[in-house]
Structure 1
Amino acid sequence: MYQDVILDHYKHPQHRGLRAPFGAEVYHVNPICGDEITLRVALSNDGTTVADVSYDGQGCSISQASTSVLTQQVIGQTVPVAMKTIDAFSEMVSSRGTVQGDEDVLGDGVAFSGVAKYPARVKCALLGWMAFKDALVQAIAASALVDDGEDLEEATNE
């Protein structure tokens, strides 16, 4: 069953293709196998929710399918929930099989629980998730700068 989920996301990736507008863009590569991804994150106007995630890249079925699953899972989540989702996925695939993952938290991400038994593939599964975390942190920082700039502008106009 899990193989079918991974294969489906690999053959029919969700949210693939870089879109604008976006709050941050990152490029990550796995030097061991050459998997690479460019990922964009857009936050809601108030900076509290993941409004969009888009990506483009190339690599093995695990890295590409995992990124597709990520986008499907985190779009629409609040920033704190998205961060918890990243942490839960990372814990599961890094556990060497001791953590199965919670389907309520990870959705189709639980399909990658078996990757934990293959340490060489863990970085493949984590590539998109770590890129998302990096982009999310950058988008939050950019959003805070915009907010500070608006506050500064309002204060100087009064």
Structure 2
Amino acid sequence: MSFSNLDQLYRQVIMDHYKNPRNKGSLEDGNLTIDMNNPTCGDRIHLTMKVEDGKVTDAKFEGEGCSISMASASMMTQTIIGKDVETAYKLSHVFSEMIQGKEYDEEDLDLGDMEALQGVSKFPARIKCATLAWKAMEKGLNE
């Protein structure tokens, strides 16, 4: 697959998550609630998660922002549901390395649709957009 075809595919994946977000909403029985924003561009997220016995059993988000921010939140919730907390942290670390254009070790982790965001590394101003949901998730798990 040529670079332009791959780039087009990645754009389609991002737009699909933006227009049809997965896990959008709020959990009534969530035990973690995190609100974060990116004052530079106005992105904001309200993340609710349910963590039981060291495992993320559910996650939902609400918010406003650019396509990258909202697509990333959709991908993040989709990726961490069903994972233990340690794996969620590892995924966050790998995502952060990838989004900054650094070498990253997947450690047999399935990045799924998140790989569509790796091109963001070429646009440093957009990195905060892509990482907002992940930082919210980490903040929630740390509390």
Same fold per superposition (TM over 0.5): yes
Q: Is the 8 A contact 1:67 1:128 kept in 2?
A: yes
Provide the residue aligned with 1:42 in structure 2.
50
**Cα deviation, residue 130, structure 1:** 0.5
For 1:7 and 1:59, how far apart are their aligned partners in 2? Answer: 13
For 1:37 and 1:81, how far apart are their aligned partners in 2? Answer: 22
Match of 2:38 among 22, 25, 30: 30
Q: Percent identity?
A: 42
* Structure 1 runs of 4+ with >2 Å offset: 98-105
Residue 90 of structure 1 aligns with an amino acid whose one-letter code is S
For 2:104 and 2:125, how far apart are their aligned partners in 1? Answer: 18
Match of 1:105, SS state, is coil
CA-atom RMSD, angstroms?
1.5
TM-score calculated relative to the size of structure 1? 0.80
Instruction: Establish whether residue 109 from structure 1 lines up as the match of residue 117 from structure 2.
Output: no
For 2:99 and 2:11, how far apart are their aligned partners in 1? Answer: 15
Counting only pairs closer than 5 Å after superposition, residues 102-141 of structure 1 correspond to structure 2 as 102=106, 104-138=109-143
Number of residue-to-residue matches in the alignment = 134
Q: Is the 8 A contact 1:60 1:124 kept in 2?
A: yes
Q: Is the 8 A contact 1:41 1:136 kept in 2?
A: no
Larger Rg: 1
Q: Is the 8 A contact 2:94 2:104 kept in 1?
A: no
Provide the residue aligned with 1:143 in structure 2.
none
TM-score calculated relative to the size of structure 2? 0.88
Which is richer in helix?
1
In structure 1, list runs of 5 or more residues that go unmatched: 139-158
Deviations along 1:77-111, one digit per CA (max 9) or x if unpaired, are 0111111000000111122xx43774943211111
For 2:33 and 2:105, how far apart are their aligned partners in 1? Answer: 28
Deviations along 1:64-85, one digit per CA (max 9) or x if unpaired, are 0000000110000011111100
For 2:48 and 2:27, how far apart are their aligned partners in 1? Answer: 8
In structure 2, list runs of 5 or more residues that go unmatched: 1-8
